[in-house]
Amino acid sequence: MPHLLMSNDEPDTAATPADSSPTVLQFPRFGHSRNRAVRVSQFRGADPDLEPLRRQATSIIDEVLADTNPEDAPVREKLRWHVANNPGQPEKALLDHLRTVADQQASA
C-alpha cells in the first residue's frame, strides 16, 4: 500500500516502515449508543402519535402512484413532487397535494 506521507529525503535513502499495513480503528456502529436507548423517530423529529396517520397516508400515496391510467399521469406526477418536497412526512405531502387539487378544481 503506498504511503500518503512522503519523506523529504531522496527516494532511495528514505526509510521504509517495518509494518506497512494500515491501522484499523474500531468505531461503534452508527445509530447505536451504549449510554441510553435511542429510537429512530427521535432523529427524525417524529411524533409517535403520528405514526398511524403516516402509515395510512403512505398507503394512500402508494395506491395512487400504483395506478397505470395514462389520463391520471399528471396527478401522479404532482403527487410525486409533493412527496419529494416533504421527505419523511407523507401526511403533509398528501395534504398539500389534496389542497393543490382542490384549489385547481375551485378555480376551474
Q: Is the pLDDT of residue 83 over 80?
A: yes
Three-state SS string over the chain comes to: CCCCCCCCCCCCCCCCCCCCCCCCCCCCCCCCCCCCCCCHHHHHCCCHHHHHHHHHHHHHHHHHHHCCCHHHHHHHHHHHHHHHHCCCCHHHHHHHHHHHHHHHHHHC
For residue 92, the one-letter residue type is: K
pLDDT in tens, 43-79: 455 678 889 999 999 999 999 999 999 999 999 999 9
Q: Is the pLDDT of residue 97 over 50?
A: yes
Q: How confident is the model at residue 35 (pLDDT cuts 50, 70, 90)?
A: very low
Q: What gap in Å lies between CA 101 and CA 108, rounded to an integer?
A: 11
First-to-last C-alpha distance (Å) of the chain: 68
Q: Is the pLDDT of residue 94 over 60?
A: yes
Q: What pLDDT score was predicted for residue 68?
A: 92
Q: What pLDDT score was predicted for residue 87?
A: 92
% of the chain with per-residue pLDDT over 70: 57
Q: What pLDDT score was predicted for residue 23?
A: 63
As given in the structure block, the three cell numbers for residue 38 are: 435511542
- Confidence (pTM): 0.56
As given in the structure block, the three cell numbers for residue 56 are: 395510512
